[in-house]
């Protein structure tokens, strides 16, 4: 095992009835990397994410987060262990402001271990952390806006901030730009680039420009199997990948 691996997938298999959808996936995510999972529609990318986040049970295999097995745990337990899946589990209250939503998220992480003597200090620390998150996702002018009144890309920004608020070990994003205009996509891609620094991300994304510019490493999933893992250059030049997925004629 790679000592730097923060997330290890070992021999993962998933069948739906007779259909083998994930057919033996081994993958190690290195702490601090941005790892893209690409592959044709129906390859099993979302299913793999569901297995990792606990939404679907494994047919076979093991998943370790920071060396500890997480398969068999509930999505909430896995989330509490430090794996955050954005855009799926959102705890946004539409009637509360951006600031209030994030304050709740940060306080949830602090838990209920308040003691009276340090309460004032804690309130200040939470406030500072919330403001820092708001800056990171570029929502400073919208800090007091009601969450339900944000634009689509602003809501996504808030969702990303909510994810960061739990200070996760691994962040998983499944098609974060789906359904967005080009302008909104560019905005969210920039945001993901910013927040990925110093964090571990696993991302499924169709836009190859984004994938190749954002990722440290890329894995290619075809019919439930990873056919290649490597740096963007390695993937770009991998004959098997070109043949199976990217197409000889596609210049990337
Ligand atoms: P991707 O995200 O790569 O496009 P998915 O993981 O969504 O692919 O789907 C992979 C395959 O698994 C598809 O053929 C899909 O029809 C099938 N599949 C996904 N979820 C289920 C399910 N709950 N029951 C049966 N088949 C499923
Ligand atoms: Mg999918």
Q: So where are the chain's domains?
A: 1-75+200-252
In tens digits, what is the pLDDT along the chain, a chain of 252 residues? 676 799 999 999 999 999 999 999 999 999 999 999 999 999 999 999 999 999 999 999 999 999 999 999 999 899 989 999 876 546 789 999 999 999 988 888 877 555 555 676 778 888 999 999 999 999 999 999 999 999 988 998 999 999 898 889 999 999 988 888 999 999 999 999 999 988 999 999 989 999 999 999 999 999 999 999 999 999 999 998 988 776 644 444
Tokens representing residue 48 in the block: 């793999």
Ligand nearest to the CA of 37: 1
Tokens representing residue 26 in the block: 């081994």
Q: Is 37 in the pocket of ligand 1 (CB under 6 A)?
A: no
The Cα-based distances of 175 to 69, 86, 120, 183, 214 in angstroms read 26, 10, 40, 16, 14
Question: Which residues, in sequence order, are CB contacts of 201 under 8 Å at separation 6+?
Answer: 33, 34, 35, 170, 171, 172, 173, 192
The pLDDT, as a whole number, for residue 49 is 96
Reduced to 3 states (helix: H, G, I; strand: E, B; else coil), residue 134 is: helix
Helices 98-110 and 152-165, axial angle in degrees (round to 10): 20
The pLDDT, as a whole number, for residue 1 is 61
Q: Is 224 in the pocket of ligand 1 (CB under 6 A)?
A: no
Which of ligand 1's atoms lies nearest the C-alpha of 16?
Answer: 25
198-215 as b/e: b if 16+ CB within 10 A: ebbbbbbbeebebbbebb
Output the pTM of the full model: 0.90
Could you say which architecture CATH assigns to the domain 1-75+200-252? 3-Layer(aba) Sandwich (3.40)
């Amino acid at each position: 095992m790679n000592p730097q691996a923060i997330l290890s997938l070992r021999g993962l298999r998933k069948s739906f009835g007779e259909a083998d959808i994930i057919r033996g996936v081994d993958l190690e995510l290195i702490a601090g990397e941005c790892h893209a999972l690409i592959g044709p529609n129906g390859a099993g990318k979302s299913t793999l994410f569901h297995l990792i986040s606990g939404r679907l049970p494994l047919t076979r295999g093991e998943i370790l987060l920071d060396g500890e097995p997480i398969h068999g745990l509930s999505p909430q337990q896995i989330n509490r262990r430090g794996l955050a899946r954005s855009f799926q589990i959102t705890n946004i209250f539409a009637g509360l402001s951006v600031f209030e939503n994030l304050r709740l998220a940060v306080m949830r992480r602090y838990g209920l271990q308040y003691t009276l003597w340090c309460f004032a200090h804690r309130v200040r620390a939470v406030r500072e952390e919330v403001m820092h998150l708001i800056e990171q996702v570029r929502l400073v002018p919208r800090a007091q806006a009601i969450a339900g009144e944000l634009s689509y890309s602003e809501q996504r920004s808030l969702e990303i901030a909510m994810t960061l608020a739990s200070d996760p070990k691994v962040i998983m994003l499944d098609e974060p730009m789906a359904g967005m205009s080009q302008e909104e996509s560019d905005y969210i891609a920039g945001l993901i680039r910013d927040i990925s620094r110093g964090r571990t991300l696993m991302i499924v994304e169709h836009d190859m420009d984004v994938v190749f510019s954002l990722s440290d490493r890329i894995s290619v999933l075809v019919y439930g199997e990873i056919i290649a893992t490597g740096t963007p250059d390695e993937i770009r030049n991998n004959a098997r990948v070109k043949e199976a997925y990217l197409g000889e004629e596609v210049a990337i």
